[in-house]
Every structure is written in structure tokens, then in C-alpha cells.
Amino acid sequence: MNNINDQWWYEVNGQRFDNKLIAIKNSNEKTQPVHFHCPKNYYTQDFSKKPTDTLDVLLKQQAQKIRDTYKTVRLYFSGGSDSYLVLKTFIDNKIPIDEIICLKSGLGESDFEITDYAIPLLHKHKESLRQTKITISEPSIKDYYDYYHTGVTDKKIEIGYFTYHSYLRLHQQHEIWNEQNINSETANIRGFDKPKVIKVDEDWYTYFVDVEIEPMSHMINFFSVDPIIQSQQAHMLLEKIHTINYEKDTDIWNNQKFWNESIGRNFTNDLPLKNIFLGAENNFVNHNNNQFYYYNTKEKFALEHVKSRSSDILDMYAHSLDELNQYTTNTWWNNNKPELGTIGIFSEFFCLTKKSVKTVDELYPGGFKSQWNSGF
């Protein structure tokens, strides 16, 4: 069966890797850089031409293609604007979804997105989802003890547990990496991701950062897997940017409502906003002379929940973070903290104003410097 999810991949010294941490280890051993590449169909797409089909048409085609290609269609649903647009695309076009999965961490308030947004939205559409299995995946405290007791093993690294983020929360490990759900006849869909655009001299480009789309070989990133959808969204966003006045670039990216509405996420209901603390001061929880930094509100709540109820899990978590530092020889972590995830790697940059593809080194020979970065 043909796989819609053409591969994203890493390269070190001419060698291909599908696993970022293994690529990083190879990079450190050979003192060679790590490059991040898009699926091959990106390099034949002319991004300077806005697609003639509307975004709604393109999304309907994508949903139908997935339905026609795979025996089983599963959607990971967070209640956010991206996964909600995926859900609405299937529902509005009467394309069946076999299963919808909401990922909880089992750590109190950290599951507010699922409890306060995802589940109510699914209830709102219950008539359209009568034939769809709804799964709320939630690890137990025992799962946390079992997971962190074994530390950082080669098997966990090879599977991909720590590739992008090293959260305390086990919301992904418990379900996304379940071997029962990984097969050629099953489409596992996630709503990744919003487009990014950036201006360099007089030209505009769209691009990816690997940690924001979290490419996994057994997952279909509904929006970014198709370069035509990416191109349409990028042009829609660029058109809206040209219509507004702003003092600095970050004024745009910090306005999530503008970003969402520019690319077809025009929802009247409340959706969760993303609060990101990377680079902030005092974004940590103290425990036993350790400072555990958090990247977002969900992780902050998770750390506080475990500290107040099962604090010995934090001791095991601290040991795992030390092991991750050792694996990468203390490199490649944001602010040198594994809990803040790996440093992002840029893809190539696809020009929206002329037919051209550039690397980050070609566009920024002195290093990447721009505020045209979402900060999300």
C-alpha cells in the first residue's frame, strides 16, 4: 500500500537518519552538522505560484485521499485550532473517521486542553461521530514509575521517545508509540502545522523547524505532508500580513487569533491558546536542589502536580535528564536543559515570490537572525 506520509529525514555527512537523537550522536562523533530535509515532493513544487484550488478544496482532497488509501483512519485530537480544522474537514465532507484519540497525561490540571476543549468539542459533534470510536488515553501513576525507573535506554531512544521533547508528561509514549497502532494499513493523523513565512531582503519564504512539526514515520501531519496545502496556507498568511500595520514582527506572531484566521481557522468557539515560556526567566519548579524547567503551561502544571503527590518520580525524571545530557555530550538542548527539548533545525526555505529553494546557510551566512519566527 502506498504511504501518503513521504519521509522527512536528517542527514549527517551524507548519511541518512530518521531519528534525530541518533543523528545528533553521529554528528558529535564526526563533528559534522545535522541537516533536516522535507519530503521529496517539496522540491518539485513551485511555491512562487499560489495554488488555484482553495484551502477548503485542498483539505477535502487530502481527507478523501487518506480515507481511500488506508483501511483505518485515526485522528489525534487536542481541541486546538489545527486538529479541530482536520476534524471539521472530515465531518463537513462526510468522510468517516474510525477513531479519535485524545491524549491525557494523567497529571491533574495539565490535561486542561483535553478536559476543557477537546472533549466538549467532541460532544458538540456527537451526532456526526456516532460511528467513530472515541478513546481517551491516560497513563496511570504506576506507568510513570515503571517508565522512569528504567531510565534512558537504547530502545527508548531508537523508538523516538526523546527526539523532540523530553517532557515529564507521558501523554505520547503511552499511545503514539504503541506498536499495535503502527502498521501500513492505519493512518495516524495529527494536525501539524501552521505555516511560517519570513522576509529576506525583498523576497518571502516559507520553511519548517523540525521540533514544531515533530515528523514521525508512522504519523501523517495533515497540513505539512502536502506541499500544495503548505503553499496555499503560506500565501494566505502573506496576503493578510500585507494588509495590516505593525511595529515589529513579533506583534504578528504573538497574535494567535490573527495567525489562525489568516489560514482558515475561523472558529467562533473558544480554543486553547499556546503559552510558551522558552527563554523566560523563573520558568522552573524546584525539587531537591534541582530546577525542572517547563516549556508550556501544561508542563508547569504537570511538574507541580507530581511534586505535591509523587515527588520521587521527579528524582527519577532528574536522572533521565542527566542520562540524556550524557547521550548527547551536553549538546543540542535548549538552554542546555533536556526538559526544554532539542534545538530546532531548519528545513530548506521555499521562496513565495520567485522559484527558488535556499538553505539557511545560504540565506543567513552569518547565522539566522530574524523576528519572523513564531516563538510558539
pTM of the predicted model as reported, rounded to 2 decimal places = 0.93
Do residues 353 and 43 make contact, with C-beta atoms less than 8 angstroms apart? no
Residue 280: how many other CB atoms lie within 10 Å: 12
Maximum C-alpha span of the chain: 58
- Which residue, among 331, 263, 313, has the nearest Cα to 58 in the 3D structure? 263
Query: What is the predicted pLDDT for the residue at 1?
Result: 35
Residues 6+ apart with CB under 8 A from 154: none
Query: What is the predicted pLDDT for the residue at 115?
Result: 97
Query: What is the predicted pLDDT for the residue at 71?
Result: 97
Query: What is the predicted pLDDT for the residue at 246?
Result: 72
Q: Whose grid coordinates read 530548506?
A: 348
Do residues 257 and 273 make contact, with C-beta atoms less than 8 angstroms apart? no
3-class SS at 299?
A: helix
DSSP 286: E
Query: What is the predicted pLDDT for the residue at 4?
Result: 67
Query: What is the predicted pLDDT for the residue at 3?
Result: 56
Q: How many CA atoms lie within 13 A of 306 on its CB side?
A: 30
Query: What is the predicted pLDDT for the residue at 270?
Result: 76
CA-to-CA distance for 180 and 154, rounded, in angstroms?
Answer: 21
Query: What is the predicted pLDDT for the residue at 368?
Result: 85
Query: What is the predicted pLDDT for the residue at 30?
Result: 95
Average pLDDT, the chain: 91
Query: What is the predicted pLDDT for the residue at 193?
Result: 86
Which amino acid is residue 247, in one-letter code? E
Query: What is the predicted pLDDT for the residue at 278?
Result: 63
Query: What is the predicted pLDDT for the residue at 373?
Result: 38
Which residues of the chain are under the pLDDT cut of 70? 1-6, 248-250, 268-269, 273, 277-280, 369-376
